[in-house]
Amino acid sequence: MSATIITITSGKGGVGKTTATANLGASLADLGYRVVCIDADIGLRNLDVVMGLENRIVYDLVDVVEGHCKLRQAMIRDKHLQDLFLIPAAQTRDKTAVSPQDMVRITDELRQESDWILIDSPAGIERGFRNAIAPADLVLIITNPEVSAVRDADRIIGLIEAEEKGPGKLILNRVKPEMVRRGDMLATDDILDVLAIDLIGVIPEDEAILIATNRGTAASLDSKSKAGKAYRNVARRLNGEEVPFEILQANDGFFRRISRIMKPGGER
Amino acid sequence: MSFFERLRIGRRGTAYTAKKRLQTVLIHDRSGISPGLLEALKVDMIDTLSRHVEIDRGSVQLSLTKERDQQRLVADIPLANRRSRRRAT
């Protein structure tokens, strides 16, 4: 085994890095792979609660770095998927407790016994971000269709290229098809046009994400969730499958559709 | 589609504004040239050029643009209007 290391980052906070990490981790493990998720957000850990493993933490990433435990001891097995693991961040330390070299050393050790290593990056462009991208084979940049998030994504893309970790791939999260149709939300093509980067996923806004997070499970294991399905498709694309991008349908009724057809210029 | 949405059909949605604003801000971010620096450059250019040719100071435009992958600084410098159309002798 020699794992592929994927870092999920965004620049801006709150766009869905941790949710994406948890959902991709679960999707890849569900495909039958051995997956280790690492929370690199030291001091503000959250991947543990999103994955529902907060009560099982004994050791964390800083304990491994400082030699207080073996790597294996810090790996928490998922409740549902046998081959999904979490290495949590330390909550009472700061980013300087880990160096980019530490991250490379730890992931080199993990590489031999896993298929995928997913690293959840903290927001920002400082030490925590540098730690997260240091060992990456591929960087996924996640953004939302709003000017602030796209601007930060552009900055991150530049930094990743400067670190020779580029070009990276884009996940566009929290898309509302109805707003896009109305012309009040940046469309996928607009964002790709501005950022000039390859797309690997478009995730619709979906209440199932919050519901899954409330429970500490992954929406990608819920067959009815649209966002969950979109994440499963990202996992399949990472795995080398050609999966067409799903066309997001606005939930609109018969009359709305008629008026759209009648509208001069038609729909985009 | 509601009555109010129907009213909006004639104009573009706010996504269009968002895209235009993003494109402008990213040109500045990527080049590291802030609007303030651009203004300072313009003043310096006007001073330098004025020493050699007569220019219409008020109409000089200096802007950052992007064509494909190439970012460029574009200057539009109108010469001052001379009364005579004849060549200077």
Higher-confidence residue of A118 and A268: namely: A118
What's the average model confidence in pLDDT over A243-252?
A: 76
pLDDT at B25: 92
Return the residue of B nearest to A189 by Cα: B19
pLDDT band at residue A266 using 50, 70 and 90 as cut-offs: very low
User: Would you list the domain boundaries of chain A?
Assistant: 4-262
Q: How many domains does chain B have?
A: 1
Query: Quick one: what percent of chain A has pLDDT higher than 70?
Result: 93
pLDDT band at residue B6 using 50, 70 and 90 as cut-offs: low
C-beta atoms of A180 and B15 within 8 A: yes
pLDDT band at residue A104 using 50, 70 and 90 as cut-offs: very high
C-beta atoms of A151 and B22 within 8 A: yes
Residues in A closer than 8 angstroms to B23, CB to CB, are 194
Name residues whose C-beta falls within 8 Å of residue B72's C-beta, 6 or more positions apart in sequence: B64, B65, B66
Please indicate, yes or no, if residue B87 is contained in any of the structural domains: no
Please indicate, yes or no, if residue B82 is contained in any of the structural domains: no
Residues in B closer than 8 angstroms to A147, CB to CB, are 18, 21-22, 25
What's the average model confidence in pLDDT over B59-75?
A: 85
CB atoms within 10 A of CB A35: 26
Interchain CB contact of A154 with B (< 8 Å): yes
Residues in A closer than 8 angstroms to B21, CB to CB, are 147
Please, how many CA atoms are within 13 Å of residue A168, restricted to the half-sphere of its CB? Answer: 31
What is the least distance, in Å, from the CA of A65 to any CA of chain B?
36
Higher-confidence residue of B8 and A62: namely: A62
Q: Which of B26, B29, B69 should be substituted to probe chain A, the one whose Cβ sees the most A Cβ atoms within 10 Å?
A: B26
Q: Among the CATH numbers 3.40.190.80, 3.40.50.300, 3.30.2010.30, 3.10.105.10, which is that of A4-262? A: 3.40.50.300
Residue B65 DSSP code = E
Mind listing the pLDDT tens digit for each residue in A119-168?
Answer: 999 999 999 999 999 999 999 999 999 999 999 999 999 999 999 998 99
| pLDDT averaged over every residue in chain B | 83
pLDDT at B87: 57
What's the longest Cα–Cα distance across chain A?
68
Q: Which of A125, A156, A159, A182 should be substituted to probe chain B, the one whose Cβ sees the most B Cβ atoms within 10 Å?
A: A182
Residue A245 DSSP code = P
C-beta atoms of B15 and A146 within 8 A: no
Please indicate, yes or no, if residue B26 is contained in any of the structural domains: yes
Tell me: pLDDT of A98 over 90: yes
Please indicate, yes or no, if residue B16 is contained in any of the structural domains: yes
pLDDT at A252: 54
Q: Count of A–B CB contacts within 8 Å?
A: 49
Name residues whose C-beta falls within 8 Å of residue A70's C-beta, 6 or more positions apart in sequence: A64
C-beta atoms of B21 and A255 within 8 A: no
Please indicate, yes or no, if residue B47 is contained in any of the structural domains: yes
pLDDT at B69: 73
pLDDT at A102: 98
What's the longest Cα–Cα distance across chain B?
70
| Helix, strand, coil share (%) of chain B residues, nearest 5 | 50, 20, 35
pLDDT at A51: 98
Interchain CB contact of B5 with A (< 8 Å): yes
Mind listing the pLDDT tens digit for each residue in B25-55?
Answer: 998 898 888 888 999 999 999 999 999 999 9
pLDDT band at residue A267 using 50, 70 and 90 as cut-offs: very low
Please indicate, yes or no, if residue B67 is contained in any of the structural domains: yes
Interchain CB contact of B22 with A (< 8 Å): yes
Tell me: pLDDT of A249 over 90: no
Interchain CB contact of B7 with A (< 8 Å): no
Tell me: pLDDT of A257 over 70: no
Please indicate, yes or no, if residue B24 is contained in any of the structural domains: yes
Interchain CB contact of A189 with B (< 8 Å): no
Residues in A closer than 8 angstroms to B9, CB to CB, are 263
C-beta atoms of A184 and B26 within 8 A: no
Mind listing the pLDDT tens digit for each residue in A174-208?
Answer: 999 999 999 999 999 999 999 999 999 999 999 99
Identify the domain containing residue B59 by its residue range: 3-76
What is the least distance, in Å, from the CA of A19 to any CA of chain B?
26
pLDDT band at residue B65 using 50, 70 and 90 as cut-offs: confident
Please indicate, yes or no, if residue B9 is contained in any of the structural domains: yes
ipTM value, please give it.
Answer: 0.82
